[in-house]
Each structure stands twice: as structure tokens, then as C-alpha cells.
Structure 1
Amino acid sequence: MHQEKSLASSAEAEIIALKVLGFLASEPERLSRFMDLTGLGPQAIRASAAEPAFLGGLMDHLLADETLLLIFCEEHDLEPERIQLLRRKLPGAALDL
């Protein structure tokens, strides 16, 4: 693997997290579950979409559900390990990710 591809950046992490948001929003059940678990409504999600900590929370949500993670990774041609690596680049990441 090329070094550039192995290095994760916070910009790449934010882009992937926004893709996660789109992925969740593309299926009403996925988005509804996210809103139920977080207590956030559509307006709060829109208002928070540019916040790095919120983007980290989106990635946490994805990483907490292996089935969802694998579907997302397949649709976006990513390895689940890449999501874990990118999650570390956003605020609030657990140290054991």
C-alpha cells in the first residue's frame, strides 16, 4: 500500500463521515434508528453536520453496528479497518479503536 493511502487525515475522515450521514439518510430506517439512539432530530443533524465532534459520532454509530459497517464499506469500496483508522482523526475517539 502506498504511504499516502495509509496515512489518514482529518479532512478524509470528515469526508467519509459525511458519506456516512448520506448513507444513513438514504434509508429511512437507518436514519430513524440514528435519531432514536441520539435523540437528535433532522434540524439538529443539519445544524451539526459540519461539526467534527458530530462527524466522529456518526462514525462511532457506524462502527457500533457491524452489519451497517460492512454494508457501508461494501458500497464505498472501503475496508472496515480504514473506518477505524479515520475515526481516530476526529474528536472524541476512544483510545482503544
Structure 2
Amino acid sequence: MPISAESAETLALNVLAWLAGNEELLPVFLGSTGASAQDLRDRAVEPEFLGSILEFLMLDDSWVVEFCDANSVPYDLPGQARAVLSGAADMHWT
């Protein structure tokens, strides 16, 4: 069963909270996205921003495993949530 948009947003917010508590990874996220701590607060309601958080997490399998293990989440769920939040923009025809 596909994940709902609401569940995808909730998962992304959980990833954001996990990132915010990760002293090593948060600066990497902020540096790679150009986001500020204020942006994290202001944009946490935007599906596009939440999708970018999931995209960042998925850059490294070890980050996915670490997040999923810490939150008892199946390893494939962040990818499913990202697909829901990105909608058709993530469609590949090749």
C-alpha cells in the first residue's frame, strides 16, 4: 500500500528532527542546501522542502540506515515518502 501524503510529510518532519539533533550531519545538510536554521523552522510546512530533506537523507545509505534504525522505520520508507512529496517531478521514463 502506498504511503499517504500526510504520512510522507510526518516522516520528513521526523527526519528533520533527527537531523536537527545530529551535531555532525546538521552542518552538512545546512551547507549543502544553503538553508539556515531559520529556514528549517519557516519551511518545515512546505512539501518541496520536506522532499529535499528526504533527498538529502538518501544521499548516503548509512544515513538512511541510521535514521531508520533509530526510529524503527523500514529502510524503504524514506524513498517512498520522497516519491510522494515530489509527485510527478520525480518521474523517469527511461
**Residues of 1 paired with 2:82 and 2:91: CA distance?**
10
* SS of structure 2 residue aligned to 1:80: coil
Of 28, 47, 50, the residue aligned with 1:52 is: 47
Percent identity over paired residues = 33
Moved over 6 A (4+): none
- 1:1-97 matches, within 5 Å, as 6-91=1-86, 94-95=90-91
TM-score, with structure 1 as normaliser? 0.86
* SS of structure 2 residue aligned to 1:89: helix
Amino acid at match of 1:94: D
Q: What runs of 5+ residues in structure 2 fail to find an aligned partner?
A: none
**Residues of 2 paired with 1:40 and 1:84: CA distance?**
22
Of structures 1 and 2, the one scoring higher in RCO (CA 8 A, sep 6+) is 2
Amino acid at match of 2:85: L
* SS of structure 1 residue aligned to 2:84: coil
Amino acid at match of 2:21: S
Amino acid at match of 2:27: S
Q: State the Cα distance separating 1:81 from its structure 2 match.
A: 1.3
Q: State the Cα distance separating 1:89 from its structure 2 match.
A: 0.9
Amino acid at match of 1:38: T
Amino acid at match of 2:63: L
* SS of structure 1 residue aligned to 2:24: helix
Q: What runs of 5+ residues in structure 1 fail to find an aligned partner?
A: 1-5
